[in-house]
């Protein structure tokens, strides 16, 4: 709707315009401050310019009223135009707000948690954000590939092998074990150690030369746990890329960096000149022992990404990786690619409460709150929704008990209840959505028309949410629409009145909008509550 209106206004004014939604809908459905941008050039008051521009419009099919107010041009849509848009939307069904394929390929990497243990609640936030961005983007016609970068090289793998060994020695061999200050812990390690014991016997837990072997055995099991937990909340990946598998390409990558003068040697280490691209200091890419660092792995990985020829790259990282962005961008530039094609979104941690108290950590994971535990307690839909109610780069705190409330304090219940309520109204009226698709909006009251207008905003909401990578715009929109539906239901008798079919058509549009909006967030609307 907004795009159709904007395109028409720009055609009449022969210019790009900003189209706003007035807070007070009685002023109009849309408004443009275009006159203000012309005031200096034309040396006229914006109010005079707005008056002159408003007279250029003559479209009774689209607008009921066009009015210049204090320099703004306000547009009120006609009932007939809203009626036609409603019918078009209802005919689209599940394809509502779906757009034609765009000529843009995007590689979206997210989660990419170390394969050393089950996902914790912090990982879940980035996971839900990434999956939702992918779903919304695909709905809007973008070609999006999702990818999980498996960090199966480096010190964390050595620590995983050691941790499995310690778990095996303590819980299977019943030895007294002295634990180092840093190691992985949790019941999942005991389960892994038991499988290793069955296959290889007890000696392997004492053989340091086989710790790496145990680590990779454990990694495969942990990846299966991670993918299973993600699937339980509706998340699956197109690609998995192993960091360890990329290091064969380091000599080739290093040669490119050496050739363009972006590396130098100091104190037997090899440094990347990342300060040339805004980093605080140059970064080590090869240690004194000749082993590439974690940054070297990331450089190889991003070279591999860019070599695959996508138009745009999105990484979702934890907030603690903020300082890492400039060094990766530097490497991308040194490799002859544009770092402007890489977009990094940061996901802040989550503070979880239960009954106002900190949520207990999981024994199975050792010292973290498991995503799977929370999903099991409140359900995947509630988990997904609550993570999208704030921008990912802001702190999020919520209480699990709130997600069990059956009132407006629980947003996912409130929205689902609006959808279920509409279905119940149709059941009571003994009609289907198809029965009212051709009903006219003639003489429809303003409250109902406002619902129509709000429901038809979905395409612009999805586009804005995707462009700004801000899924909160969708959750806020859903809650607002649900509030409007509940208010309309409470203030108007629907079944058995003269305007029953008109009201039912309005509510069928609301239901479709709710269902589509939830679907692109990976949530299934509940028809009954």
In tens, the pLDDT along 299-338 reads 999 999 999 999 999 999 998 888 899 999 999 999 999 9
Q: What are phi and psi of 444, to 5 degrees?
A: -70, 140
Give the mean pLDDT of 469-495.
97
pLDDT of residue 145: 98
Tell me the pLDDT tens digit for each residue of 189-245. 999 999 999 999 999 999 999 999 999 999 999 999 999 999 999 999 999 999 999
Report the DSSP pairing between strands 105-109 and 312-318.
Answer: parallel
**Residue percentage of the chain with pLDDT more than 90:** 79
Give the mean pLDDT of 92-97.
94
* Whether pLDDT at 363 is above 60: no
Determine whether 490 is exposed, middle or buried from the number of CB atoms within 10 Å of its CB (0-12, 13-18, 19+): exposed
How many angstroms separate the CA atoms of 389 and 403, rounded? 13
Q: How many CB atoms lie within 10 A of CB 446?
A: 9
Phi-psi region of 261 (alpha: psi -120 to 50; beta: other; left: phi over 0): left
Mean pLDDT (the chain, rounded): 93
Give the mean pLDDT of 247-260.
93
Helix axes 472-491, 500-520, angle to 10 degrees: 160
Pick the CATH number of 407-520 from 3.40.50.1860, 3.40.1050.10, 2.60.120.260, 1.10.730.10: 1.10.730.10
Q: Categorize the per-residue pLDDT at 248 as very low, low, confident or very high, splitting at 50, 70 and 90.
A: very high
Q: HEC states along 25-80?
A: HHHCCEEECHHHHHHHHHCCCHHHHHHHHHCCCCCCCCEEEEEEECCEEEEEECHH
Which secondary-structure segment (H or E) carries 130?
A: helix 121-139
Q: Name residues whose C-beta falls within 8 Å of residue 414's C-beta, 6 or more positions apart in sequence.
A: 407, 408, 479, 482, 483, 486
Give the mean pLDDT of 389-393.
93
Q: Name residues whose C-beta falls within 8 Å of residue 57's C-beta, 6 or more positions apart in sequence.
A: 9, 12, 63, 66, 75
Report the DSSP pairing between strands 283-286 and 312-318.
Answer: unpaired
Which secondary-structure segment (H or E) carries 313?
A: strand 312-318
Lowest-pLDDT choice from 56-70, 106-120, 178-192, 248-262: 56-70
CB environment 159-174: b (16+ within 10 A), e (fewer):
bbbbbbbbbbbbbbee
pLDDT of residue 298: 94
> Domain boundaries in the chain?
2-77, 155-219, 407-520
How many angstroms separate the CA atoms of 242 and 198, rounded? 27
Q: Which residue has the tokens 């490799």?
A: 335
pLDDT of residue 179: 87
Give the mean pLDDT of 19-36.
89
How many angstroms separate the CA atoms of 152 and 156, rounded? 8
pLDDT of residue 368: 80
Tell me the pLDDT tens digit for each residue of 121-156. 889 999 999 999 999 999 999 999 999 999 998 889
Give the mean pLDDT of 339-360.
91
**Closest Cα partner for 79 from 65, 92, 96, 68?**
65
Which secondary-structure segment (H or E) carries 158?
A: helix 155-171
Q: Could you tell me which residue, 423 or 409, shows the higher pLDDT?
A: 423
pLDDT of residue 364: 58
Helix axes 79-92, 446-455, angle to 10 degrees: 40
pLDDT of residue 404: 86
Query: Architecture of 2-77 per CATH?
Result: 2-Layer Sandwich (3.30)
pLDDT of residue 27: 83
In 260-311, which ranges are continuous DSSP H helix? 294-307
How many angstroms separate the CA atoms of 502 and 436, rounded? 7
**Residue percentage of the chain with pLDDT more than 70:** 99
Note whether 2-77 and 407-520 share their fold. no
């Amino acid at each position: 709707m907004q795009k159709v209106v904007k395109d028409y206004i720009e055609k009449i004014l022969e210019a790009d315009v900003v189209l706003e939604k007035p807070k007070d809908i009685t002023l109009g459905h849309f408004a443009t401050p275009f006159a203000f941008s012309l005031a200096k050039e034309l040396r006229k008051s914006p109010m005079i310019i707005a008056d002159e521009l408003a007279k250029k419009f003559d479209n009774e099919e689209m607008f009921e009223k066009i009015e210049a107010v204090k320099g703004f041009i306000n547009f009120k849509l006609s009932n007939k135009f809203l009626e036609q848009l409603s019918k078009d939307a209802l005919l689209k069904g599940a394809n509502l707000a779906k757009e034609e394929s765009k000529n843009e390929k995007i590689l979206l990497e997210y989660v990419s948690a170390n394969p050393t243990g089950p996902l914790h609640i912090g990982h879940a936030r980035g996971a839900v954000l990434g999956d939702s961005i992918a779903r919304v983007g695909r709905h809007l016609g973008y070609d999006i590939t999702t990818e999980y970068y498996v960090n199966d090289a480096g010190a964390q793998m050595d620590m995983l092998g050691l941790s499995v060994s310690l778990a095996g020695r303590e819980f299977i061999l019943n030895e007294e074990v002295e634990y180092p200050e840093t190691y992985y812990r949790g019941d999942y390690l005991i389960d892994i150690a038991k499988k290793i014991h069955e296959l290889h016997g007890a000696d392997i837990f004492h053989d340091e030369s086989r710790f790496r072997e145990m680590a990779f055995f454990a990694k495969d099991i942990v990846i299966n746990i991670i993918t299973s937990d993600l699937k339980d909340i509706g998340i699956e990946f197109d690609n998995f890329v192993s960091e360890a598998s990329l290091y064969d390409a380091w000599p080739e990558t290093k040669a490119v960096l050496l050739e363009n003068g972006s590396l130098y040697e100091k104190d037997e280490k090899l440094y990347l000149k990342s300060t040339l691209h805004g980093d605080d200091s140059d970064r080590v890419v090869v240690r004194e022992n000749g082993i590439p660092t974690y940054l070297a792995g990331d450089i190889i990985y991003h070279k591999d990404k860019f070599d695959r020829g996508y138009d745009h790259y999105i990484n979702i990282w934890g907030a603690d990786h903020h300082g890492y962005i400039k060094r990766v961008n530097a490497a991308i530039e040194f490799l002859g690619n544009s770092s402007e094609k890489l977009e990094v979104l940061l996901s802040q941690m989550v503070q979880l409460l239960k009954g106002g108290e900190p949520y207990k950590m999981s024994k199975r994971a050792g010292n973290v709150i498991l995503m799977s535990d929370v999903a099991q307690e409140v359900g995947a839909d509630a988990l997904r929704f609550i993570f999208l109610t704030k921008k990912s780069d802001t702190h999020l705190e919520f209480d699990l008990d709130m997600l069990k409330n059956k009132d407006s304090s629980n947003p996912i219940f409130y929205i689902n209840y609006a959808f279920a309520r509409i279905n119940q109204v149709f059941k009571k009226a003994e009609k289907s959505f198809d029965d009212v698709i051709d009903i006219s909006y003639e003489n429809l009251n303003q409250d109902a028309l406002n619902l129509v207008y709000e429901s038809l905003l979905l395409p612009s909401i999805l586009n804005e949410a995707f462009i700004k990578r801000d899924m909160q715009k969708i959750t806020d929109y859903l809650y607002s629409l649900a509030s409007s539906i509940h208010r309309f239901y409470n203030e108007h008798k629907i079944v058995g009145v003269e305007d029953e079919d008109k009201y039912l058509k309005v509510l069928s549009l609301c239901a479709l909008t709710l269902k589509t909006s939830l679907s692109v967030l990976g949530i299934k609307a509940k028809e009954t509550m």
